[in-house]
Amino acid sequence: MPQDLGIITRRAAASSLSGLPSRRRDTGGLATDALHLARWQFAITTVFHFFFVPLSIGLVFFTAVMETLWHRTKDLTYLRMTKFWGRLFLINFALGIVTGLVQEFQFGMNWSAYSRFVGDVFGAPLAIEGLAAFFLESTFIGLWVFGWNRLSERVHLACIWIVTIGTGLSAFFILAANSWMQHPVGYRVNPETGRAELHDFGALLTNSTLWTHFPHTILAALVTGGMFVIGVSAWHLLRGHETEVFRRSAAMGLVVSLFATVGVVVSGHIQGQQMTKQQPMKMAAAEALWNTTQGAGLSLFAISDVGQGRNVFNIQLPHLLSVMSTNSWNGTVEGINNLQRQYERTYGPGSYVPDVGATYWTFRVMVGAGFLMVFITLIGLWLFRRRELESAKWFLWFAPFAIALPYIANSTGWILTEVGRQPWVVYGVMLTRDASSPTVGFGLVLTTLVGFTVIYGALAVIDAYLLVRYARSEPPTVEAPAAGPTLVY
Amino acid sequence: MHEGYLNLQTLWFALIMALWIGYFFLEGFDFGVGILLPFLGRDGVDRRILVNAIGPVWDGNEVWLIVAGGATFAAFPDWYATLFSGFYLALFLILAALIFRGVAFEFRGKGKHPEWKRWWDRAIFWGSAVPALLWGVAFANILRGVPIDANHEWTGSFLDLLNPYALLAGATSFLLFTLHGGVFLTLKTDGELRDRARRAAELLAWPTTAAVLGFLVWTFVDQHGNGRVAPVVVSILALAAVAGVVWLSRARRDGWAFLATGLAIVGVTATIFLDLYPRVMVSSTRAANDLTIWNASSAHYTLTVMTIVALVFAPLVLAYQGWTYWIFRKRISRTDVEAGANPA
């Protein structure tokens, strides 16, 4: 609720931000440049990290279901599927883990002012993620990989399910932390220390934003896994490889994708309505809606003059934005200019408008990619039901390219979420420009920015190479029953 | 109010100490195995055995670091902020090393070309050696003191970290982890590889003892003014343990030798933390600028919530990680790897 934020945030803005003028040393333009670099570093490392996370969450679920089917039916095809997709999961998982390391520490490195101000609230879900979820994933993944001959089938199966649960819990606590940045609840700013302090941990975990973010993210991860499984299976089916393994894989991919893509759309819609209430500026920017409008149209293509605060060109579907965000034909949707004036009254002078171009276009690309995936999944299912999937060469040829779609949607989705929140790092409470490390200068941030970017770039190439190579390889052969040396480390 | 030890700040100081001890004990031998990889692994089969010796567990071991970082963030946000923005480049080097090392374990077996494995093995070596050295440097500086101003902001540079005391600490942690890894391998391998691991351990034991002695004496000289008994006791324990490794290794008491290197790691780490308490980072600028468990901590409510969470999950984690070590307790032999009975 934006109303209940009002009082707290105003006080927070007054006491914690403008009230701490002495902390930032005056380093002139260099500090601003360091801030920009730190923001780029966060953007690059986070988007890169999130390149791997959704596929891990999605693929481990597929792997767990396949192993369950093998356990139930003793059909060796399911065991081969488990090993084939499990191996791809592991290649991908490794990068998710190591890029996650950087995430844990870069708040302290580049955002020390943020860490001091919010550590009390934000640190808790992060620490709990490590203790409750990350330990679980990392320990049981080792057991799963090396345990084929040492554990009973039942325990081995339990291991992959525990990893699946662990990845989900991980996502939950990380999103709890992020949701607090979007919609801060359960805290107050201590006027003595000038820091945010947690006073209701339950509120943090029941944050309404978390409960729309979490399903949307998990479903998006399942879509990522689904599109990946469909695409890779299609590549093999087109060539007539191992049709039994890949027909079943494709069918699973299609069914999961059907539920997950529809779920992503529905949860995304609910998120949009929530965003209109909680972060109206983000919604206004995402729609390039400059002035508060009743019965606002949904923009399909707009060119804005940001300086003047208006659109030069705009194609829109009448009334649809109002219907989508307020459930009423003539509902009022607040515009950027009106919100800017309102925010200046609340928080003082300054610009409270995010990068409208980035917010508007990432929103459209994300939604576009999402609907495309629904469409592709429906076509695939229709072909499958008519038993024409393997003969529909055009679909099999096209499906591997569609693997790019979830990646595009995941990345633009996060860019929308984070860029749309600017200039705030914690919405209504702390500005991004006040959050960086005052003692970390331009040269230092540049060093790590270049360093991480080069390392990540190199690893991305190697990872893509390995994924493609192993995705094209034969599914491992297995001897009945369950001899399993095939997962090579 | 700030008296006695029965308060949440002290509890969290102790828990974070325990997390670092756990991390150094567990990832210590992972680092050691990585450092010894090029020296003990004569051929591809050897190297695969060495990697497999830690393969199932290294990932879980590394999480101790993540949780130590997260717990510091939640319980002592100021400590987290000052430490990582201050030790910026050192932390970057550690993270870069851990990134390469982590993917190397996963990727080394996935390429056919002989150069492929060689490159990843180099990544494992450097990815283990760099953090093994830098963790010692970092913790010595936390205790020795670094430039910190009245706002708890770091005012030094990377070069401030490279003083003789810290470098000795770096050498100590490097040697201690390598020795720990060598002794660990005597438990996990057999045949000729095991003999080589034992020879490496015997070779390393004296220099490591000397380094530990040097570091602990220097620490005592610097810190004995605080009049504490506990750090002295754990120091002596650590020293006795590491000095015993030579004898235990020669007597082929590998299990005891591993316990001894482990105890040495526990003792050295505990010495640093016990000398620190109740400070968490010492300011070399002014004692008044020290970060302490009082001025760097979260509020009471957060500490209470985190305590409950830790009480629920920590025993669980210990139980399942312990179970993992039990499952993978067997030695790995050449025949295992050659027969492919082990995922290499």
Q: pLDDT digit string (tens) for B227-247? A: 888 999 999 999 999 999 989
Say how many domains are in chain B.
Answer: 1
Q: For residue B297, what is the DSSP state?
A: P
CA distance to partner chain A, nearest, from residue B37 (Å): 16
The predicted structure's pLDDT at residue A482? 46
**Residue A72: both structure tokens together:** 């139930």
- A124 and B74 within 8 Å at the Cβ level: the answer is yes
Q: CB-side exposure of B196: number of CA atoms within 13 Å?
A: 15
CA distance A280 to A408: 25
The mean pLDDT of A8-22, rounded to a whole number, is: 37
> Å from A178 to nearest chain B CA?
15
* Separation of alpha carbons B164 and A479, rounded Å: 59
Contact between B321 and A99 using a beta-carbon 8 Å cutoff: no
Query: Is B205 part of a structural domain of the chain?
Result: yes
Domain CATH for B53: 1.20.1630
**DSSP assignment letter at A130:** I
Contact between B280 and B236 (Cβ < 8 Å): no
- In the predicted model, what is the mean pLDDT of chain A? 87
**Domain region containing B195:** 26-338
User: Is residue A377 assigned to a domain?
Assistant: yes
Q: What is the band of A399 on the pLDDT scale with cuts at 50, 70, 90?
A: very high
A406 within a domain of the structure (yes/no): yes
pLDDT, residue B334, reads 83
Q: A157-205, pLDDT tens digit by residue?
A: 999 999 999 999 999 999 999 999 999 999 999 888 889 999 999 999 9
pLDDT tier, A2 (very low <50, low <70, confident <90, very high otherwise): very low
Q: Find chain B residues with C-beta within 8 A of A145's C-beta.
A: 55-56, 343
Q: How close does chain B come to A65, measured CA to CA in Å?
A: 22
B37-62 pLDDT, tens digit per residue, is 999 988 888 999 999 999 888 888 99
In a domain, A7, yes or no: no
CA distance B303 to B286: 28
Q: Is residue A299 part of a domain?
A: yes
Which of A14-28, A117-131, A382-396 is the least confident region? A14-28
Mean pLDDT of chain B: 91
Q: What is the pLDDT of residue B2?
A: 54
Is the per-residue pLDDT at A17 higher than 50? no
d(CA B183, CA B259): 9
User: pLDDT digit string (tens) for A336-353?
Assistant: 999 999 999 999 999 999
Tally the domains of chain A. Answer: 1
pLDDT beyond 50 at B22:
yes
Are B88 and A440 in contact (CB < 8 Å)?
Answer: yes
Has residue A313 been placed in a domain? yes
Distance (Å) from the alpha carbon of B332 to chain A's nearest alpha carbon: 12
The tens digit of pLDDT for each residue in A251-283 reads 999 999 999 999 999 999 999 999 989 999 999
Span A101-110, pLDDT tens digits: 898 899 999 9
| A175 within domain boundaries | no
Q: What is the pLDDT of residue A42?
A: 93
What's the pLDDT tens digit per position in B187-220? 999 889 999 999 999 999 999 999 999 999 999 9
In a domain, residue B204? The reply is yes
Q: How many CB atoms lie within 10 A of CB B17?
A: 18
Predicted confidence at residue A31, as pLDDT, reads 63
Q: Which amino acid is at A255?
A: V
pLDDT at residue B98 is higher than 50: yes
Element (H, E) at B28: helix B8-40
Chain B residues with CB under 8 Å of A468 CB are none
**Lowest mean pLDDT: which of A6-10, A115-119, A301-305, B137-141?**
A6-10
Asked, for residue B253, whether it belongs to a domain, the answer is: yes
Q: Which of B71, B82, B343 sits opposite A127 (nearest CB)?
A: B71
- Say if B326 falls within a structural domain: yes
Judge whether A33 lies within some domain: no
Mutate to test the interface with A, among B92, B113, B120, B280 (most CBs of A within 10 A): B92
Stretch A367-396: mean pLDDT, rounded?
93
By residue range, what is the domain housing residue A351? 268-434
Name which of A226-240, A292-306, A461-475, B183-197 the model is least confident about.
A292-306
Supply the ipTM of this predicted assembly: 0.90
Average pLDDT over residues B290-313: 92
Evaluate whether A95 touches A463 at the Cβ level (below 8 Å). yes
Q: What share of chain A is helix, strand, coil (3-state, %, to 5)?
A: 70, 5, 20
